[in-house]
Structure 1
Amino acid sequence: MNCKRLLAVLMLLCSPLTQAQPPEELRISVGDWPPYLSAELKHGGVIAHLISDLFADEGYRVNFQFLPWPRAYAAAAAGRFDASAVWMHKSEREADFLFSAPLLNEQFVFFHLKSQPFDWHSFSDLDGMRLGGGLEYSYGEAFDSFLSKGTVKMERVSSDRQNFEKLLKERVALYPQELNVGYASLRKHFSAADAARITHHPKPLLNNLSYLMLPKQLAGSQALLERFNRRLQSYRDSGRYDSYFRDLQAGKYEIPQAAPDAKLPLFE
């Protein structure tokens, strides 16, 4: 190859047209919901990690913005974000958003003290018991209807920490909460000794599906949704989807504190 031809090849290789372009950025609004979504967790939490990897495999880079939940919804609905995560399906939300395939299966269970064995098959098995609960919180239509009958008393407070404190002091017998959310709270707010006193019943009180929502305001949402759903299904088919939640249960998304207490496994 003569010198002129070699120079031409080198110039072509160095041309901006041949250089790799940075991935397109997607902006996604999210709320704080540890251990699934939180700026205080590695990768922003397991769901943020999963979404980032799904879109990375489609050639996108994700920028998450943590906002109060109402603002996260409103800003995305107005088209100021490419998507918002994660949300339960409600028919009224379909006016603003397209829903992805299910991204997260939330499982609500009853937490209780190991020293007070507990079993249940139907809501009537709870009659006469005192429960903890969240302020203005719904545990599903069926259980809300049962609570309205007044055969059990639910004492509602504003935080998981307060509810678990009441459970440890035996002021309530049960506390219904999402499985991973409950154990994340125990690990964050309580000593290993106190956390070890609490377990959960394996029968779910409620299973909820949550979704990524893409705004109908944006013309590209439908095509982006289809790509996301195909990639999500491939993760499920390969078993990769489950690996994220095994890492969650192993505590791999937690950022060690300066002087951490001894930690328990999330599940027994």
Structure 2
Amino acid sequence: MRSGLGSIWIVLGLLCFFGQSAKLCAEGSVTTLPGTLEISTGEWPPFLGEGLPEQGVIARLIRDIFAEANINVQFTFLPWSRAMRDTVNGKYAATAVWMFAEDRAQNLLYSEPVLDEKFVFFYRKSQPFYWQQLTDLQGMVVGGVSGYSYGPVFDAAVKNHIIGLDIVGSVEQNFRRLALGRVDVVAEEISVGYHMLQQRMPDIANSITHHPQPLLINQSFLLFPKANPQSEALNLLFNTLLQEFRANGRYDSYFDTLTTAESGSVYQPLQP
């Protein structure tokens, strides 16, 4: 766990579960938590997807964590920007999953890291691609997805016109454009990219690969709106149970099926 969370065990002290509700006992006060949470999210297979078995690996993980406290989780799939906006405005109890950004921290509480991500550049095998620093991409067009951030260094390079970023609404659109030569490279999380290619776009999968140097090693978080008086208790509860999942090895088991071409394996979807 990162610094500052060792005190959670003292703050929580005791988790009390009754029927379909949960009570978190902390320093003499009791916060009653709901029996059902609505969480907003966007399409990001294999991690999150409305049509995936159990709605994806991360949806399954979050659902199982809260189930330990007898809290049911329902996911609503929306465009990413709307998922964020509606959660900040209090329509949803949380939104999953997002990388850290200072502006988001003004209105949202960040959980402990839920997912470790690795973003890389995908490119056409017929047009070899090599890079060491972002200035090597000067003059190229990078395909991105609306609502994504690819890290502060990349974002600054775009703002300073070092990199040309052309965004669309979905990962699939990006790879179609890459195959057609309309963008030079696509920036995408490696498991997400290979899931899309192998499971949904087999007609172009063999023509595309990735550069091994990471663009971004990143962590993503579950976010709770500060405007909701239950958010702090829910966040503490989630973090405590997530730590238990990590400590006993259960967390790692959720990602056993997520292999990519990088390891010489083909992505195997979760069984329903």
Displacement, 1:200? Answer: 1.0
1:184 aligns with 2:201: no
State the SS of the aligned residue for 1:245.
coil
> Residue in 1 aligned with 2:44?
34
Instruction: For residue 161 of structure 1, give the secondary structure of its aligned residue in structure 2.
Output: helix
Q: How many pairs does the alignment contain?
A: 235
Check conservation: 1:86, 1:212, Cα contact below 8 A.
Answer: yes
Q: 1:126 to 1:46 in 2, by over 3 A?
A: same
Matches within 5 A, 1:108-187: 108-134=119-145, 138-148=149-159, 150=161, 153-187=164-198
Structure 2 vs 1, CA of residues 92 and 118 (structure 1 numbering), >3 Å: closer, same or farther? closer
Question: Which residue of structure 2 aligns with residue 252 of structure 1?
Answer: 269
Q: How far 1:151 moved relative to its partner?
A: 5.6
Secondary structure of residue in 2 paired with 1:203: coil
Q: Aligned partners of 1:240 and 1:195: how far apart in 2?
A: 32
In the alignment, the residues of structure 2 paired with residue 176 and residue 79 of structure 1 have an alpha-carbon distance, to the nearest angstrom, of: 31
Spell out, residue by residue over 1:117-162, the C-alpha distance to the aligned partner (whole angstroms, 9 max, x if none). 4332212333444433445864333223334555655554444334
CA distance in 2, matches of 1:134, 1:116: 22
The residue correspondences of 1:12-51 to structure 2 (distance < 5 A) are 21-22=19-20, 25-35=35-45, 36-51=47-62
Are residue 226 (structure 1) and residue 236 (structure 2) matched? Answer: yes
Q: Alignment partner of 2:213: what SS?
A: coil
Structure 2 contact 19–70 (Cα < 8 Å) conserved: no
Give yes or no for contact 1:29–1:67 (8 Å, CA) kept in 2.
no
- What amino acid maps onto 1:251 in structure 2? Q
Give the % identical residues.
41
Query: Any unmatched runs of 5+ in structure 2?
Result: 1-17, 23-34, 260-266
Do the aligned partners of residues 137 and 237 (structure 1) sit closer, same or farther apart at CA in structure 2, a change above 3 Å counting?
closer
How far 1:38 sits from its partner (Å)? 1.9
Relative to structure 1, is the Cα distance of residues 143 and 64 closer, same or farther in structure 2, using a 3 angstrom cutoff? closer
Q: Return the alpha-carbon distance in structure 1 between the equivalents of residues 38 and 55 of structure 2.
A: 12
Structure 1 or 2: larger strand share?
Answer: 2
Q: Which has the larger radius of gyration?
A: 1
Higher helix share: 1
Larger CA deviation: 171-180 vs 204-213? 171-180
TM-score (norm 1): 0.73
Q: Is the 8 A contact 1:26 1:82 kept in 2?
A: no
Equivalent runs, 1:230-245 vs 2, <5 Å: 230-245=240-255
- Equivalent residue letter for 1:21: G
Over 3 Å counting, the alpha-carbon distance change for 1:44 and 1:147 in structure 2 is same
1:108 Cα deviation from its structure 2 partner? 1.6
* 2:63 paired residue number: 52
Shift of 1:241: 1.8
Letter in 2 for 1:196: N
Q: Mean Cα displacement is larger for which, 195-204 or 242-251?
A: 242-251
Change over 3 Å in CA distance of 1:202–1:235 after alignment to 2:
farther
CA distance in 1, matches of 2:186, 2:89: 37
Q: 1:30 to 1:146 in 2, by over 3 A?
A: same
Choose the corresponding residue for 1:103, options 110, 114, 127.
114
In structure 1, stretches of 5+ residues that fail to align are: 1-19, 256-268
Match of 2:225 in 1: 215
In the alignment, the residues of structure 1 paired with residue 148 and residue 227 of structure 2 have an alpha-carbon distance, to the nearest angstrom, of 30
Q: CA deviation at 1:50?
A: 0.5
Cα RMSD of the aligned pairs, angstroms, is 3.0
